[in-house]
Amino acid sequence: MYRLDSGTKQTLLQLADVRAKKVHGRGRPRICKPRSPSRAIFGARSSAYVLEEAARAALGVSEMRCRRLFEAAREGVLLLDPATRKITDANPSIIEFLGYPLEEFVGKELWEIGLLKDQKASQAMFLALRKKHFICYENLPLQTSAGRNHEVEMVANLFQEGTHPVIQCNVRDITDRKRVEKELRAAKNEISRQALELRIKVAEHTIQLRQTISELEAFSYSVSHDMRSPLSAMRGFAEILLEDHSAQLDTQGIKYLEKIDAAAGRLDTLIQEVLAYTRALPGELKIEPVDLDVLVCQVIDTYPQLQSGQVDIQIKGVLPRIMGAKAGLTQCMSNLLTNAVKFVAPDINPQVKIHAQRIAGDIRLWVEDNGIGIAPKDQARIFQMFARVEHTTAYEGTGLGLTIVRKAVERMGGQMGVESEVGQGSRFWIQLKGVNQ
Ligand code: ADP
């Protein structure tokens, strides 16, 4: 049980006396006429006694409260006498934690129960406490009576209890926290190690991929060029035959020659498109502001089929600037516009409308035609390689144009799509970032 020293009690009784005076009137004793001197002395004594009792009761309550805190604390608490450095009391929590009975704590120094390394460390702690009145240790190793190793955190405070100094050590088991921290550190290290490995692998693969792409590019260029030269020879000889030797050929022969020339022409277009497709795949694209108005006019000026008298191309307003790559955008626009004037019923003059729409920070560029239209079931398929819609086989083509558009748009970080109905014309769009003004 806690016992208050006489000094503390005296202080508290004095305090109670002052309070009692205050009850009687602002520190001044109340002057009242005693009925008889003896009764007056008795009255004064009895009221002093009542006050002393009240102070004692208050003290008891406060003492009980402190004791409850000490005993119910989940942290281990040790009380030490600074003069002897010995433990004077230990709370149930530390008794249970270390597994020694209270008697084994009392009278021992901290190093003797394994809290500090040795006597020297204990002396150093007491010296520091005398100076700073507070000291905190983290990661103290501590072994229980059962031989289990723990890590604890200890906070020691030097207090004044009345006239006596006392040291209170609060001991907290941080083994679990330390274990979790260690596991977390290990997991973090493992994650960074794996991330580094991944980065190295990605870098290696990227180098390999770039190498493969440039080899493929060189290969496809040389194959395509090598294929085009015998083709142009075939077409050239067919032309000479037609121009210089048609007299020796009958109508059927001339027809066959024309078919050879047309087939060679188709193969040439196919090779050129395969070349264009391979160009749309590799390498970095330089994305920069591109003036769509200028670019679209240039495309129209370049392709004879877009300048025919029967073709009507209208540009609504001035087309804005867009973030893209000139070469990629030229490929997109030439494919979309030549398709728009190509896939039109034979008796209809092609009409094409181009306009831009702002969608948040993006620009959606529309190319609308009055052509044969595309059934909804075919609309996703036509962007795949060599895909052509059945009823359009009568129109010349390779089925690569829209694949090139899709690839180019994706590489510029944009999207594309189509809205259409059979017989109702088609509305193709590409969407890219606009240029911030
Ligand atoms: P190509 O034009 O060489 O056939 P594309 O990849 O450009 O190849 O187009 C794929 C198919 O999509 C075309 O064969 C055609 O069936 C359909 N298509 C493309 N553009 C249009 C259009 N504007 N109107 C109708 N059909 C179209």
User: Does some domain include residue 178?
Assistant: no
User: Does some domain include residue 152?
Assistant: yes
User: Does some domain include residue 426?
Assistant: yes
What residues form DSSP beta bridges with 365? 356, 430
272 and 296 share a domain?
no
Distance 112 CA to ligand 1 centre (A): 91
320 and 426 share a domain?
yes
Res 1 pLDDT > 50: no
Tell me how far apart the alpha carbons of residues 246 and 252 are, in angstroms, rounded to a whole number. Answer: 11
What CATH number is associated with residue 353?
Answer: 3.30.565.10
Confidence label for 4 from pLDDT (cuts 50, 70 and 90)? very low
Distance 382 CA to ligand 1 centre (A): 7
- At which of 28, 51, 70 does a domain end? 70
Tell me how far apart the alpha carbons of residues 123 and 193 are, in angstroms, rounded to a whole number. Answer: 45
Distance 416 CA to ligand 1 centre (A): 14
167 and 242 share a domain?
no
Tell me how far apart the alpha carbons of residues 116 and 339 are, in angstroms, rounded to a whole number. Answer: 87
- At which of 278, 296, 329 does a domain end? 278
Distance 273 CA to ligand 1 centre (A): 14
- At which of 29, 54, 70 does a domain end? 70
**Tens digits of per-residue pLDDT, 102-153?**
998 899 999 888 888 888 888 889 989 989 999 999 888 888 888 888 999 9
296 and 385 share a domain?
yes
93 and 61 share a domain?
no
The whole domain housing 327 covers 285-433
298 and 387 share a domain?
yes
Pocket test for ligand 1, best of 268, 382, 385 (most atoms within 8 A of CB): 382
331 and 365 share a domain?
yes
Least confident of 100-109, 191-200, 313-322, 343-352: 100-109
User: Does some domain include residue 11?
Assistant: yes
Tell me how far apart the alpha carbons of residues 401 and 385 are, in angstroms, rounded to a whole number. Answer: 9
Q: Tokens representing 70?
A: 């000490």
311 and 396 share a domain?
yes
Q: Is 81 helix (H, G, I), strand (E, B) or coil?
A: strand
What CATH number is associated with residue 112?
Answer: 3.30.450.20
Burial 264-288 (b: 16+ CB within 10 A, else e): beebbebbebbbbbbbbeeeebebe
Closest C-alpha to ligand 1, atom 21: 339
Q: Is the CB of 335 under 6 A from ligand 1?
A: yes
Q: Is the CB of 331 under 6 A from ligand 1?
A: no
First to last CA, the chain: 82
Alpha-helix runs per DSSP H in 281-400: 292-302, 304-307, 326-342
14 and 132 share a domain?
no
362 and 299 share a domain?
yes
**Tens digits of per-residue pLDDT, 48-87?**
788 888 888 888 888 888 888 888 888 999 999 999 999 9
User: Does some domain include residue 318?
Assistant: yes
Pocket test for ligand 1, best of 274, 335, 337, 343 (most atoms within 8 A of CB): 343
244 and 358 share a domain?
no
302 and 404 share a domain?
yes
User: Does some domain include residue 18?
Assistant: yes
User: Does some domain include residue 105?
Assistant: yes
Total-model pTM: 0.52
- Looking at the structure of the chain, the number of domains it has is 4
